[in-house]
Structure formats: structure tokens, C-alpha cells
Structure 1
């Protein structure tokens, strides 16, 4: 191991670890949300993940597209072009405004949407309530994501961690209070969980706005002077960002489709799948932090015309991320019962408890198997994204999802009644095939020839 490699590991940890902790804070917020709802009502828990992931499904396209502001800012930083930073940030802000309007319209279709999905009527009612509130506040979350790119794209990820952690610390006690009616707050159940989440998003976004729009950053990055809408720059951002948004949408669609189909098997199967997926988020969201970090590193390397540095950053990030995943695999294999019990009410019937624990233990072993493949997907997708190879990610995600998840799960569950474990086998195969495609693309190196900002810089005022 060379000194340079050790230095690279340190750089990756410096940039990625705050993002991992930031994503971890988001995971803790979602995790405690599920815990409080599980202790409040099994129906509320069963409704929260389908409604939450369906809301995030629609959000994901806008979130993935807005997230490409991170890559543009990273490449401008690598090219030492500070004017491009402020101009790109504002195009992302305009896109966030469009996103907010579209998500508000989607919220109006909640009743028909969940009637089509076909869960039990009492679950549907809770799903509609949760979905509408989250969709109505999603524009604030997308704006917060866009503003955070001002820091993450320049490698100042500690700021993102601190602001996100502040939102989490605000959310957790508020979540408990307005779900259960504690400390003088009204008892709002699943409605309270959604409201607490939107309030946390609002706080995070407000703090980012306060920190970014000041005289110092305006002089250096034109964060206020560059507020004019730039059609050519906006379209260039969309050219790379929209495939990234579609890829993120397909990623969430795969899991949303999976969860919604499992919901047809029964309330208990849906509840245990929700629990295991919530536990699985302990790995996915931190991996997403590593992915954003490596995208930033790769973007700066590509902007500075150093593709060899991008390769080193990608491989070194994978080494660190897989070490974390290995620890989680051991946890899921050897300590499944304590993890599952955290979500369960104390007054659950002994027969139901036994059945849920047995199913949950088996499902966590599925998670332990596919975590390795999923981690490689997330890290090397971050590399390809940082280089601007968003179209390949989009097409590979679409092919893998259709042929290895959507069709097999739909046919197996709807027509042949294959059951819960068959569905989880399908999602494991899907992640393996996606892993194969993404890593092959990285290994062949075609992504190293993509240039994003050389053309883009001519579009700036």
C-alpha cells in the first residue's frame, strides 16, 4: 500500500464520512418514525412504508435530477471556475420550484392511487393521509437537497452533516409527541409522523438558505448575482440530470413495486417486509452518502482532467464501504431478533410475535446476501454519475428492473401465488444482475472519456 493510497483513503473519509453520517441521521429519522408508528399501531406501521416509498417514488425523479447540481459544482470546482458554481446552484433552485408544483398536483391523486394498489380499506385510508402530507411538503426537501450541493460539490461535507443532524434532532422528539399526543401536543398518529417530517425538511432548508446567501459567498461564487435564469445552462443541467433522475426513479420504483406487490400477500407479510426494509435502510442510506462523496471526488477529478484519480477514488471508496457492509451482514445474520423486536408493540399476540420473528429472521438473511451486490451498485453508480455517465446508469437500471424484478415478481405472485420468499429471491437476483452491469461498465473505462463542463463553460454569462 503506497503513501498515496493511504492519503486517498483519508481524503475519502474526510469527504464521505460526514455525508454518511448525514444520511445516517436521515435514516435515524425514518427509523424512529417507523418505531413510533409500530408502537402506536400495527396498521399505521403497515401503511407508512408503502405510502412513504410511493411518495419518495415520485420525489425520486426530481431529487435525482436536482442532485446532479452536486456533480456540476464538483466539476466547476475541479476546473477552478467559481462563476459556474453560483450559476448552476440557481438553475437547481428553479428546477426545485417546478418540482414543488408538480408534487402538489400528484398529492391530489392519492385516493385513486391507493385504491388501484388494492391494500385493505383501513390501510388505504392511512396511506392516503401520509402520502398527501409528504407530497405537499416535498418541494421543500428537494430545495434543501439542491442547496446542500453547494457544499457537497466543493467537498465541504461537514456543513451538510451538521445541518442534517440539526433537522434530525428537531424531528425525533416532535415525531414522538405528535404521533402519541405527548407533552401537550395533539395525538395525530400517522398524520403527525408526516407533519414532523415536513417540519424537519423546512428547518434544514431554511438553515442552508441562511448559510449560503451572504456577501462572502456572493463575492466568491456569485450565489446572488448569478440568480438570472439561464436557459442554455438549465438545459445542459437537464441533459445530464434527467437520466440521473430517471435512474433514481427506477431504483425506488423497483422497491416500491416490490413492497406494493408483497402487500397483496397479507397484512402480516406487508408489516414484516416494512420492518426488514427499514432495517435495510441502515445500510442503504449510508451507502448513498458514500455515493455522493465519490461523485464529488470523481467530478472534481474529471473537471481537472485527471480521470486516473477518479478510478483510484472509486476503488478506494468501495474498499471502505464494503468494510462497513460486512459488519452489518454479521449483525443481520447473528442478531436478527433484537433488531425486529424494536418495531413491535409489547401487546402483540404470542402467535403473531412468533410468526413475525421467524419470517423476519429469514428475510434478514436475504438482505445479508444481497447487501454486497447492492453496495457495489451504489458506489460505482456514484463514480459513473460523477463522470456524467448518467444515461448508461438509466438504461441498465431499466433493463435489470423489467426483466429480473417486475416481470418475475408480478407473474410469480399474481398468477402462481409463489409467496413471500420467492419475491425476496427475485429482488436478490435483480441486484446481482445490476451489479454485474454497473461494475463491467466501470471496469471497461468508457466513462473516462465523457466531458461535461468543457462545452458547458461557454454557456455562462
Structure 2
């Protein structure tokens, strides 16, 4: 009984992890809700628009996730500064993240110029290419805002004020959904814009979150403790340290997101119905997956703080607690995918649909079985990858993800059958997630993460001087 009580209520127990993670789970859950509603509204407007939003949205994430993933390490850095009693370094770190985000403007302009080429080279059907291109270009207008809000939200995650992140995300989600309805279908003097309206709504919400986080930090956070105003300088050594640990985190997102996007584009080359069915299944997968990103972020923060504050024992206990929550949550969703697929897909049948959408729903029912097979493993790899990043083991996470992703794509392409290609690529996705989970489990058990420190206290990597 005492062990159960310690597991649930003790330091780094389930309750303590949930206290930090629940607002982040709700926060990332709002993102999955927004994406789900966004694509469902586009299906109601035009089936091809939903397919285009799926393909272009995945490509957008792949192209921007390098800077996005890099600044996502801000939360782990802040946690280690707090754990090592160096809060006065936090402001300067945040400014390095902001300078980096602003430096990505030329990159996003270049990506917008070459957007049509990305879709042409992957063999997208002509009826989707135009929609994909315009949606992608509009999203890129909000890309810098998205990178900045990710960096600034890391401050609140790192000091464990995750409720702030939750409320900002909820407000942003409400704004995005309202704008979706108004801009997609039109209202009053606002004409219907379809997929263009969906893109504008997303871009506005990206910048809304960035501005709101900046205002909260500037007017409410204690400058005497965190030194925001005096930290408004370009600190090349500190920026170099952020790049050293953040670059592999960003590249990992590129590799993982790129692998998934490549598979989705291959499925898109099979035709609109296959891509539409995949979009439907992935929408429900997002409901299970995206909230776990919040739990993964919380795990990174707890591992970072405990490693510098009290040592690896509590960090390991926090990971075990997070895994318990993740497995229970994902197992619940796996049961729903297996037992109630028709009930889940009923939402799409409530819409006015064409015959292609009806055919896609029949395919999506079978695809939910694949999601059920890998969702538990996806939860495990996500939590353990977050723990390793929180400790600073970002280069291994990159290499491990790269090997698994490349293996999945190459094996899938080499052994590709002549028929049943949709199911074949979903088997590739399932095997890929299984490989990722095994690699992260083995690395975590190996234990090198226990002696890491990103902020210079016990860091085996010398400070990076530029």
C-alpha cells in the first residue's frame, strides 16, 4: 500500500506529473481539436479541400519543424536553469530563441516561392496541386509567429506554470475555430473562401499566440528574477549552446515528420479517395497522439529539473509515472478504434458527402485497425524521446529516429507490392512506430542520459564558442 501511495502521490509520482502535464495535455489537445474541426469543415465544404489540407499541412510541418523543434528545447533549458538555481540566465536564453526565430524569415520566404515544386515532384494529382500550394503559402505567413510562440511557451513550461500555456492555447483555439467557420463558409459581408479561409484562420491564430505569450512575459513575469530586459542581447556562446542541443531536436522532427509526409504523399499519388481515407484515420489518430505531446513536454521539463536539482532517481521516477499515464490513455483509444470504428466515423456520415467520401469512410474503417496496433508504441516512444531530450541526449534521439525512418521508407519502397498499396503503406507506418519505440526503450535503459547536464554544471560537452 505504501508503494502504491508513493507511486501516485510521492515526489515525481503520477499526481505530480499530472499536475504539471494536464494543462499541457489540454493545450496540445486543443491543437488536435482545431485540426480535426478544420479538416472536417473542409470536408463539408469540399472533399478535395480536406485532402489538400492534409497533404499540405504535413509538408508545412516538415519544412518548418527544424526551427520549431530547435526552439522547443527552450522549456528543457529553462527547467535546468531553475533546477540549478540559475534563474537569472533565463531571460537571455529566451532572447536567443527569439533572435533565431526572426532569422528564419528568409527561409520561409524561399519555401513559399518553391512550394509548387514540392508538390509537383511528388506526383500530386492536378486537382489537388493548386489547393495544396495556396494553403501551404498562407500557412507560411504564420510560420515565424508559430516558432516564436513555441519558444516563449517554453518559459512557462520550464518554470512549471503550465496553466498559462493551457489558457493561451484555449483562447487561440477558439479564435481559430470561429475564423474557420466565418472564412471557410462566409458570413455577412465576408465571402466564402474555402481552403484559403482555413489557411488565413490558422496563420492569424499562430501570431495571436505569439503576441499573447510575449505580452504575458513582458508585463507579468518578474524581471528581477529572470532578467528579461537586461537579457535583450545577442549572446553568441549561449546561442551556440542552444543550437548544439536544439539542432538535433529540430532535425529529429524533420526526419520524423518528413518520413510521415513522404508516405502521405505516396498515398496521395494513389488518388483522392485513398488520401481522403488516410486523412480521416489520421484525424482520429491525432486525437490520441497530440495530447501526449503535452505529456512528453512535461516529462522533458521534469527530467531536466530533477537531473540538475536532485539527481537521476527522481527523474527516472517521473518518466515511469508519465509512461503509466501514456499507456493507460493510449490503450483506451486503441480499444475505441477496435471496438467502435463505425461510431467514430459516424461524425463524417452526418455531413453532406459525395460518393467518394462514402468510399473513403469504408477504407478508413480498416485503417483505424492499423492505428490501434501502433498507438501504444507511439505513446511509449514519445514519452521516452521527451525524457532523453530533457536530459540533453538530443543527438541520439536524432540518429535513432533517422535510422528508423530511413529504414521504413527504403524497405517500404523496395518491397512495395503491385496491389494493396494503401494497406501496404499503413503497414510501413506501423512497423516504423514499433522500431522507434524499441530504439528509445533500449537507449533509456542504457542510462547515459542520467549523467547529462545542458547548462554547464556537469556537462560532458564543453560550452560551444562561436
Query: Above 0.5 in TM-score?
Result: yes
Separation in 1 of the partners of 2:221 and 2:298? 25
| Structure 2 residue corresponding to 1:45, chosen from 44, 50, 56 | 50
Separation in 2 of the partners of 1:345 and 1:95? 45
In the TM superposition, 1:54-453 aligns within 5 A as: 54-214=59-219, 216-343=221-348, 346-349=351-354, 352=356, 354-403=358-407, 405-413=408-416, 416-453=418-455
Separation in 2 of the partners of 1:50 and 1:343? 19
What are the Cα deviations for residues 38-70 of structure 1, in whole angstroms up to 9, with x where unaligned?
000011011011001100111111111000111
Separation in 1 of the partners of 2:104 and 2:405? 25
- Which sections of structure 2, spanning at least 5 residues, go unmatched? none
Task: Compute the TM-score of the two structures, normalised by the length of structure 2.
Answer: 0.94
Separation in 2 of the partners of 1:402 and 1:138? 27
How many residues of Structure 1 are paired with residues of Structure 2 in the alignment?
Answer: 457
Question: Secondary structure of 1:56's partner?
Answer: helix
- 156-165 vs 98-107, greater mean Cα deviation: 98-107
Separation in 2 of the partners of 1:157 and 1:38? 34
* Closer, same or farther: CA 216–201 of 1 in aligned 2, 3 Å: closer
* Closer, same or farther: CA 271–4 of 1 in aligned 2, 3 Å: same
Separation in 1 of the partners of 2:174 and 2:293? 21
Q: Offset of 1:443 from its aligned partner?
A: 1.2
Q: Offset of 1:100 from its aligned partner?
A: 3.2
Q: Offset of 1:459 from its aligned partner?
A: 8.8
Task: Compute the TM-score of the two structures, normalised by the length of structure 1.
Answer: 0.95
Separation in 1 of the partners of 2:364 and 2:161? 39
Separation in 1 of the partners of 2:289 and 2:454? 28
Separation in 2 of the partners of 1:251 and 1:163? 27
Question: Secondary structure of 2:192's partner?
Answer: coil
Question: Secondary structure of 1:383's partner?
Answer: helix
Separation in 1 of the partners of 2:37 and 2:360? 19
- Which sections of structure 1, spanning at least 5 residues, go unmatched? none
* Closer, same or farther: CA 108–221 of 1 in aligned 2, 3 Å: same
- Aligned position for 2:6: 4
Q: Offset of 1:345 from its aligned partner?
A: 7.2
Question: Secondary structure of 1:317's partner?
Answer: helix
Q: Offset of 1:114 from its aligned partner?
A: 1.2
Q: Offset of 1:337 from its aligned partner?
A: 2.2
CA contact (8 A) 2:44 2:352 kept: no
* Closer, same or farther: CA 344–409 of 1 in aligned 2, 3 Å: farther
Q: Offset of 1:342 from its aligned partner?
A: 2.5
Q: Offset of 1:307 from its aligned partner?
A: 0.8
Q: Offset of 1:84 from its aligned partner?
A: 1.4
* Closer, same or farther: CA 343–94 of 1 in aligned 2, 3 Å: farther
What are the Cα deviations for residues 73-92 of structure 1, in whole angstroms up to 9, with x where unaligned?
01001111111111111111
Q: Offset of 1:338 from its aligned partner?
A: 3.2
* Closer, same or farther: CA 428–225 of 1 in aligned 2, 3 Å: same
